[in-house]
A and B are shown apart, each in its own frame.
Chain A
Amino acid sequence: MPEDLMTPVERAQALQEGRPADRMRCVPSISNTAARVIGVKVSELRISGATLARATIATYRRFGFDAVRVFTDLYVQPEAMGSKVRVPLDETAHLDSPAISHESDINRLTPHDPYKDGPLPALLEATRRTLEAIGQEVPVSCGVEGPFTLASLLVGADNLSRWMLKKPESAHRVIAIACEASLRLADAVIDIGAVPSLTCAMSSSTVISPRLFKDFSQPYLTKLTEHIKARGIASVTLHICGKTAPIWTGMADTGAACLSIDNMAHLDEAKKIVGGRVCLMGNIPPAEVLLQGTCADVRAAARKCIREAWDNPRGFILASGCSLATETPFANIDAMLDAAREAGWPVRPEYL
């Protein structure tokens, strides 16, 4: 197995400029698995910026992947705005109940202050510490929620559904408040010197129609992306879970530079439709392959992704289709990185 010869920052620059590089980029989307790397409980990551930073840094050093994302779960922003979250001792947090459940309460919702509210100060603290420790060698991002998904977690998916179809102005009011909250968090992340990484699970075509995406999600994602770009960050990554083929063009229209594609969608099709406009990352299945499969399964799945998209005109990053489960075996994460090393750069013809 060839050794890595470049840091992720050096590699990214070389690939960007078309210079020789030691390998393609590779990003397993690790979140709470970081707790296993340093032997703490999952819930400890959420409450202490120092612990989350320590886990994030150790995880990068253990595996050597190409982008570090400071992230625990999707519920830190909703919690900072009043949603109730269940935090098990040693598993990923999940939503208990939304902040409001009646239309008449919308005016009670206010955008969070990332320096004060809920777990956000700890998240920012972790991002700052991580950046200080390893920011010279690897890009550091912090997860920021897409406005549509945040809105859904603030009022409940059923309410937001009803309002979109029956009372669109109420839906827009909530999503606009969520958008302002995500703008504030993005600003705080940029002020530290890190990069916001956008994720919007509920925008998936597995959940809402392409038409509702265009009306209720895309305009707000565009606003967020344009704001981030105006602050000098060119490369915004957007992840949407599940099926996304019908909205790839819309996702690229938001101005995102890189689209992270779930394993329910196909990289070769994405390459055809938006590969000339955006970098693609994806899409090894996190559950069946990375969590439950063998190292051989991981290598086979990685090879399939590489075959489909390594030559994408605007770049390719071998990645997991979605965030990894906490108990993903370290050996499988190593196998994923090894696949990127084994493929070589440019990818050796015999590998394909």
Chain B
Amino acid sequence: MAKSKEILFQELSDSVVEMEENKAADLAREVVEEKIDAYEAIDKGLAHGMERAGRLFEEDEYFVPELLIAADAMYAGIEVLRQHIAADSSSAPGRIVIGVVEGDTHDIGKNLVKIILEAKGFEVHDLGRDVPPSVFVAKAKEIKADIIGLSTLMTTTMAGMARVIEMLHEAGLRERIKVMIGGAPISQGFARKIGADGYSANAMAAGDLALKLLAQRRILGSLSAS
């Protein structure tokens, strides 16, 4: 007898937490065979598992390697399911442009934030490493981003974050686009100093921060519309 939808979702979620890439792909194929909604399987199965892995990361049960391998499993499942997603169901909560600021190539932290944001359903545009401020602004404008996420590990490149915010002002986009920043030398104090909308100390917190910034923006938007 075929497994129930709920059991399949639970197994998908477990395969991510247990970092079983092949199992995640096999289970995703079962979802397709059983004609279960692919979007729901990602949301309640694979992404759910990634959220659990992220919580284990926050609790110092999982570390960077475990999170990366759990994400491998999540993406293996998504790869199978992607072409089966119904056209109307993939409404992302928001669009984010993310990258490591110019002069820095350390991207482990940025990659973790990307994984968590994708697990939360965000449409993430990853500009990679060593990204000039103007490229962040141009991309955000092009895709009508809700949020720009900036990362750096180096103290020398922190000024690039302030430059992105200045350029958003100059382009008249600062009201529309939220800016969140993170990285080892970054602090809440630094975020306040350069006028960023939020700082998070780790990848899981970055996911929650993005949702919070989006909610703030909606509330402000509805206030100014009324």
Contacts and interface: CB of A to CB of B under 8 A. Distances in A.
Contacts of A207: 63-64, 108
Given A164-B65, A288-B189, A326-B156, 15 more contacts: A94-B103, A94-B106, A157-B64, A161-B68, A162-B65, A162-B68, A162-B69, A165-B19, A205-B63, A209-B62, A212-B63, A212-B65, A287-B155, A291-B155, A292-B190
Given A161-B68, A165-B19, A94 B189 contact: no
Interface stretch (A84-92, A105-113, A130-138, A273-281): A84-92
Nearest to B69: A165
Given A288-B189, A325-B156, A94 B69 contact: no
A287 B185 contact: yes
B154 interface: yes
A208 B65 contact: yes
Contact of A92 (B63, B66, B154, B190): B154
Interface of A: 86, 88, 91-92, 94-96, 157-158, 160-162, 164-166, 205, 207-209, 212, 242, 246, 286-288, 291-292, 325-327
Given A205-B63, A291-B155, A96 B19 contact: no
Given A157-B64, A157-B108, A287-B185, A166 B69 contact: yes
B155 A94 contact: no
B10 interface: no
B200 to A, nearest CB: 15
Q: Please list the 7 inter-chain residue pairs (A to B) with the smallest Cβ-Cβ separation, ordered nearest first.
A: A161-B65, A325-B155, A287-B185, A209-B63, A94-B105, A161-B68, A91-B156
A166 B23 CA distance: 14
B72 interface: yes
A95 B107 CA distance: 10
Contacts of B190: 288, 292
Contacts of B111: 158
A165 B189 contact: no
B104 interface: yes
Contacts of B19: 165
Contacts of A157: 64, 108
Nearest to B62: A209
Interface size bracket, B side: 20 to 34
Nearest to A328: B155
Interface string B175-198: 000000000110101100000000
A148 to B, nearest CB: 12
Contacts, number: 71
A326 B154 CA distance: 10
A208 B156 contact: no
B155 A161 contact: no
Interface string B31-54: 000000000000000000000000
Nearest to A264: B184
Nearest to B19: A165
B103 A91 contact: yes
21 contacts: A92-B156, A94-B105, A157-B108, A158-B68, A161-B68, A162-B68, A164-B65, A165-B19, A205-B63, A207-B63, A209-B63, A209-B66, A212-B63, A242-B184, A286-B155, A287-B184, A288-B190, A291-B155, A292-B190, A325-B185, A326-B156
Contacts of B156: 91-92, 325-327
A208 B64 contact: yes
Contacts of A291: 155, 185
Contacts of A326: 155-156
A160 B62 CA distance: 16
Nearest to B106: A94
A246 B130 CA distance: 33
Contact of A162 (B72, B105, B184): B72
A291 B156 CA distance: 10
Contacts of B155: 286-287, 291, 325-327
A254 B109 CA distance: 28
A164 B62 CA distance: 14
Contacts of B154: 92, 94, 325
